[in-house]
Amino acid sequence: MKVKDKVVIVTGAGSGIGNAIAKHFAYHGAKVIVSDINLEKAKKVSEEIVTNFGESLPIKADVANYEEVKNLIQHAVTAYGQLDVLVNNAGVGPKQMAKTAEYTLEDWDDVIAVNQTGVFYGMQLALQQMTQQGFGNIVNIASLAGLKASLNNISYTASKFAVVGMTKSAALEYAKTGIRINAVCPGYTESALLDQLLATRPDMDARLKRIIPMQRYGEASEIAEAVVWLASDSTKFITGQTITLDGGTSL
């Protein structure tokens, strides 16, 4: 992967898929800013990167807070002089899955704030910096739920469809500037969000695996491989695309 010495921010990198993405970038020689709403988790991941791979900084940021995202971008540029890659990975699911008529306003507001508005904040602020530089790369973590219907999950579905649309719109706007923007759409992947889904009913594990042609969940490392590839110099002619990693579920 051609990402050596690139300056990379990964949001929501304190655990799960974000953790795997941050470490995979570091393994390939990137300088990684590990961002998470939980600073202790970010510090732990960053320390592991420094011990095993190379350069890293932990920075606390709530992606639903514009000023904190602004500080995150500025901190990275101050520390390293530029920003090569932003991975908008931070995301949440609803506290309670329910049909649209019974969905809580709290779950709607919370999920949209992080998954949709948070991605917009990250893209807008990173693009301001990348436009000044004349180069840059953004990878947004969407979801299979951004490509097809997801029952009892209206806010998450709406937010992830939005991420796919925002990715395409921004990619078109900035294609001439040397900035590429793509999205990755994981299917059911081993993570805290999957654990939350599995806990909703005793037979959920069996139900999900029946609809996955490969009959297994994705691994965080497999998502990380795709993200680093899209952010690398090996994919210079790819922009505005959604790469789906779902074991064939969308088929």
> Is 156 an active-site residue?
yes
Whether residue 166 is contained in a domain is answered as yes
CB atoms within 10 A of CB 241: 16
Phi, psi dihedrals of residue 180, rounded to the nearest 5°? -110, 145
The model carries a pTM of: 0.95
Q: What is the pLDDT of residue 215?
A: 87
Find out whether 240 and 168 touch, Cβ atoms under 8 Å: yes
Domain annotation covers residue 126: yes
Q: What are the strands, taking DSSP E only, across 7-121?
A: 7-10, 31-36, 56-60, 85-88
The C-alpha atoms of residue 174 and residue 166 are separated, in whole angstroms, by: 12
- Domain of 115 in residue numbering reads as 7-187+219-245
11 has pLDDT over 80: yes
> Which one is catalytic: 156, 174, 188, 217?
156
Q: Number of structural domains, the chain? A: 1
Residue 110 lies in a domain: yes
Q: Give the model's pLDDT for residue 208.
A: 79
Dihedral class, residue 61 (left if φ above 0, else alpha if ψ from -120 to 50, else beta): beta
203 in a domain, yes or no?
no
The domain that holds 90 is classified in CATH as: 3.40.50.720
Using a pLDDT cut of 70, give the percent of the chain over it.
100
Asked if the model's pLDDT at residue 193 lies above 80, the reply is no
- Could you report the per-residue pLDDT of 119-159, keeping only the tens digit for each? 999 999 999 999 999 999 999 999 999 999 988 999 999 99
